[in-house]
């Protein structure tokens, strides 16, 4: 091979689209060079099947990414290579007639290989291998016919290799566009699958596919985290069906750090894969970085992807049990509050029945009694500790409690009454009844 040929092959490092082979030539030498090129190219057109065989064998030997495709379906790869060579070699002879069809073929190959997951570098390498093989055959055919004509063929070498570079650019552009479309489809399919799992509408037959798509075990343990949705920051890029950034930070290495987020109309949800001991949800709740004013609820653990709909509803219950001021509520540690928010009508009726008599008092007087009751219950029935929290004497606490009993007819030492008072206070606090 002449040195100029070898240097051109070695200089190809990336696509740089340029115009196709020019149709007008400024000198007799140019015209003679193109005539030599056309004569050699016509011979290649006549022997395309053999050229295709050689290129397919070279791809199998030199390009690992194509080897599996060739072993799987050699006939399909052979047809693709033959189709590309026919249009590209034809373009060397008749640029106007073949240019657009050659481009269509290159775009089609770029799209097909992107869909098949063949790396772009491998596709471009295949095109350059084909270009090198075509050029070598042009040189060999010219040398066989008339060695002196090789000096003329060298004059169009740059045009031939620019043509190869042009098609590498076409392939790369089509590949990247197809890759973006495929990525969007995968992400959209994933979003739809996560939504179906959280809604509880996923079909049992789809669970294996969902597990593979999301990289989650079908029979694993899961919980769901619900975070009250706040206003989006301008330019955050978040739109329907997408979460631009997680609304809370999950610490690295903590349970659920690989959560999958999904937005809802009033909250955003995360699927938390669980792999540790039962106490890992408490660990997560303690480590969760919740911004001030943000409300977060973590539901109980469930078994299997099929139960994620239940897990979401449990997380929503935990979120409703979260104070309006913000914070994190782990459902398993706030079950009485969860009972209250799960049946707001009954909880409101209980609050009216138990605490209704206090509403006849002056609001400030009523609030003091409610605050004292709450502090006493939080102190596990200790008037001493409740007084310390309220900055008053224990006897003051006991006097206020006795007054509550007199107004409501309840006895705080009776377990049933104590439970009803506790639930009624929770209803007032959580439901505003």
Residue 286 has pLDDT above 80, yes or no: yes
Q: What is the pLDDT of residue 157?
A: 87
Tens digits of residue pLDDT in 212-243: 988 899 999 999 999 986 444 433 433 334 44
Alpha carbons 86 and 161: distance in angstroms, whole number: 17
Q: What is the pLDDT of residue 422?
A: 93
The answer to whether position 199 is within a domain reads no
The answer to whether position 257 is within a domain reads yes
Q: What is the pLDDT of residue 388?
A: 93
Residue 6 has pLDDT above 60, yes or no: no
Residue 359 has pLDDT above 60, yes or no: yes
Q: Are residues 270 and 388 in the same domain?
A: no
* Confidence class for position 400, pLDDT limits 50, 70, 90: very high
Q: What is the pLDDT of residue 8?
A: 38
Tens digits of residue pLDDT in 79-109: 999 999 998 898 888 888 888 888 999 999 9
Question: Degrees (nearest 5) of the Cα angle 334, 339, 344?
Answer: 125
Is 174 in contact with 107 (CB distance < 8 Å)?
Answer: yes
The answer to whether position 200 is within a domain reads no
Is 282 in contact with 172 (CB distance < 8 Å)?
Answer: no
Q: Are residues 276 and 387 in the same domain?
A: no
Q: What is the DSSP letter of 207?
A: H
Q: Are residues 155 and 259 in the same domain?
A: no
* Confidence class for position 251, pLDDT limits 50, 70, 90: low
Q: List the CATH number of the domain containing 395.
A: 1.10.10.2840
Q: Are residues 12 and 115 in the same domain?
A: yes
Q: Are residues 368 and 309 in the same domain?
A: no
Q: List the CATH number of the domain containing 144.
A: 1.10.490.10
Is 226 in contact with 268 (CB distance < 8 Å)?
Answer: yes
Residue 71 or residue 233, greater confidence:
71
Alpha carbons 247 and 294: distance in angstroms, whole number: 9
Q: What is the pLDDT of residue 246?
A: 63
Q: Are residues 314 and 373 in the same domain?
A: no
Mean pLDDT throughout 143-172? 89
Q: Are residues 353 and 336 in the same domain?
A: no
Q: Are residues 59 and 167 in the same domain?
A: yes
Tally the domains of the chain.
Answer: 3
Print the domain residue range for 322: 222-229+248-341
The answer to whether position 243 is within a domain reads no
Q: Which of 341, 360, 375 is the last residue of a domain?
A: 341
Q: Are residues 354 and 320 in the same domain?
A: no
Q: Which of 316, 341, 366 is the last residue of a domain?
A: 341
Q: What is the pTM of this model?
A: 0.62
Q: Are residues 175 and 54 in the same domain?
A: yes
The answer to whether position 214 is within a domain reads no
Question: Degrees (nearest 5) of the Cα angle 302, 304, 305?
Answer: 105
Place of tokens 């001021």: 325
Q: Which of 314, 341, 368 is the last residue of a domain?
A: 341
CA 256 to chain centre: 16
Question: Which residues does 382 contact at the CB level (< 8 Å), separation at least 6?
Answer: 376
Mean pLDDT throughout 247-256? 65
Residue 349 has pLDDT above 70, yes or no: yes
Residue 197 has pLDDT above 90, yes or no: yes
Q: Are residues 333 and 392 in the same domain?
A: no
Q: What is the pLDDT of residue 133?
A: 94
* Confidence class for position 131, pLDDT limits 50, 70, 90: very high
The answer to whether position 98 is within a domain reads yes
Mean pLDDT throughout 397-415? 93
Q: Are residues 38 and 128 in the same domain?
A: yes
């Amino acid at each position: 091979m002449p040195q100029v040929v070898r240097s051109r092959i070695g200089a190809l490092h990336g696509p740089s689209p340029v115009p196709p082979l020019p149709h007008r030539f400024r000198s007799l030498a140019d015209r003679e060079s193109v005539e030599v090129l056309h004569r050699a190219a016509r011979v290649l057109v006549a022997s395309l099947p053999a050229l295709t065989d050689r290129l397919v064998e070279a791809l199998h030997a030199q390009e690992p990414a194509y080897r599996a495709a060739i072993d799987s379906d050699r006939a399909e790869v052979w047809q693709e290579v033959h189709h590309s060579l026919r249009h590209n070699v034809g373009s060397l002879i008749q640029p106007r007639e073949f240019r657009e069809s050659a481009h269509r073929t290159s775009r089609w190959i770029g799209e097909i290989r992107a869909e098949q997951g063949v790396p772009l570098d491998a596709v471009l390498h295949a095109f350059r291998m084909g270009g090198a093989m075509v050029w070598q055959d042009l040189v060999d055919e010219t040398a066989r016919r008339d060695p002196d004509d090789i000096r003329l063929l060298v004059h169009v070498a740059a045009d031939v290799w620019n043509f190869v570079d042009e098609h590498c650019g076409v392939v790369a552009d089509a590949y990247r566009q197809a890759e973006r479309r495929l990525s969007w489809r995968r992400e959209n399919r994933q979003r739809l699958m996560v939504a179906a799992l959280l809604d509880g509408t996923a079909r049992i037959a789809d669970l294996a596919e969902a597990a593979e798509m999301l990289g989650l075990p079908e029979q694993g343990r899961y919980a769901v985290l619900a975070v009250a949705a706040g206003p989006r920051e301008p330019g955050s890029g978040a739109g329907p069906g997408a979460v631009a950034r997680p609304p809370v930070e999950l610490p690295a290495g903590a349970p659920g750090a690989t959560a999958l987020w999904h937005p809802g109309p009033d909250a955003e949800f995360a699927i938390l894969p669980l792999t540790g001991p039962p106490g890992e949800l408490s660990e997560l709740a303690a480590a969760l970085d919740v911004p001030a004013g943000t409300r977060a609820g973590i539901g109980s653990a469930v078994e299997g992807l099929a139960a994620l709909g239940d897990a979401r509803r449990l997380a929503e219950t935990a979120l409703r049990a979260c104070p309006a001021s913000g914070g994190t509520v782990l459902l398993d540690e706030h079950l009485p509050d969860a009972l209250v928010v799960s049946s707001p009508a009954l909880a409101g009726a209980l609050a009216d029945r138990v605490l209704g008599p206090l509403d006849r008092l002056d609001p400030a007087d009523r609030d003091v009694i409610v605050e004292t009751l709450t502090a006493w219950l939080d102190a596990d029935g200790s008037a001493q500790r409740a007084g310390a929290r309220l900055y008053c004497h224990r006897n003051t606490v006991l006097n206020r409690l006795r007054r509550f009993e007199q107004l409501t007819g309840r006895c705080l030492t009776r377990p049933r009454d104590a439970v009803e008072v506790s639930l009624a206070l929770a209803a007032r606090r959580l439901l505003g009844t």
